[in-house]
Amino acid sequence: MAIEVEDPKPADCRSSASRVRGRRTSPVLEPWEFELLRLLAEQQAIPFDQLARFLDCNQEQAARVAKHLTKFGYVDYGRFLADEPHWAWATWRGLRLSGMGFRAEPPRVGAMARMRAVNEVRLHIARRAPEARWICGRSVVRDQGTRGYRPNAVVEIGPERHALLVRFWVAKQERTLAILETHMARYEAVIAFANPGSRALLERLKAEHHWPKLIIRAIPQPPLNIVGHRDPARHGIPPGISEAEGGTK
């Protein structure tokens, strides 16, 4: 699969990885590179521990895969909090090759908890309903505009479309009511992943308004132990890349 591009402008985002830059004389994306760039474009950014689970590998292998893509200017990475692993995101060039049409931007510290939770929900959905089609929140914003209420993501399962909400903080009841009513009028189901405080309000509103379309779940947590064979080759990643010498800086 070959995708020809012009030489890009300098990346909008800079980090320690930005200094590592190589350029292929003829940009040709392998299928696994294309899929990974689309994943990063859809989620905006993914920490290495979650990237490892998306790729069925360990965290060191995920770091090597990310570093491989930084060599060609497709991906950048950086560490923003001392207790967080490095995060990877697609650069301007990588986003252009992905065809998604989104802006390149590293994660904001204030949004990292929500982004991690949305990533975790996507991993959870992929494990529980592998046939479901994930429509990322960035695509929802592009399709519906920035006005009004939008879900964090949408999943399509057969003919049904389900809105996914991730709730950390307890919003005012009037606002929460408006959000839920908007999504229930548009989608076949609304699945809210919430922390205990937000969950209490959601459950009370569901009982008061008798909403069968509202499904309330706890925010998924990463498994303590990854069970099963982990093989990035399942995604087409050559062993020479996932096992190559190198890692994060």
Bridging pattern class, strands 160-167 and 153-157: antiparallel
The Cα 241–Cα 69 span in angstroms is: 10
204-244 confidence digits (pLDDT tens): 999 999 999 999 999 999 887 664 446 666 666 666 565 65
pLDDT band at 193 (very low <50, low <70, confident <90, very high): very high
The Cα 135–Cα 122 span in angstroms is: 10
The pLDDT of residue 60 is 93
125-163 confidence digits (pLDDT tens): 999 999 999 999 999 999 988 888 999 999 999 999 999
**Alpha-carbon distances, residue 104 vs 44, 135, 157 (angstroms):** 8, 18, 29
Contact 32, 236 (CB under 8 A): yes
Contacting residues for 175 by C-beta, under 8 A, at least 6 apart: none
The Cα 243–Cα 198 span in angstroms is: 42
Q: Which of 27, 10, 82, 34 is nearest to 236 (CA)?
A: 34
- Per the prediction, the chain carries an average pLDDT of 84
Q: What is the pTM of this model?
A: 0.81
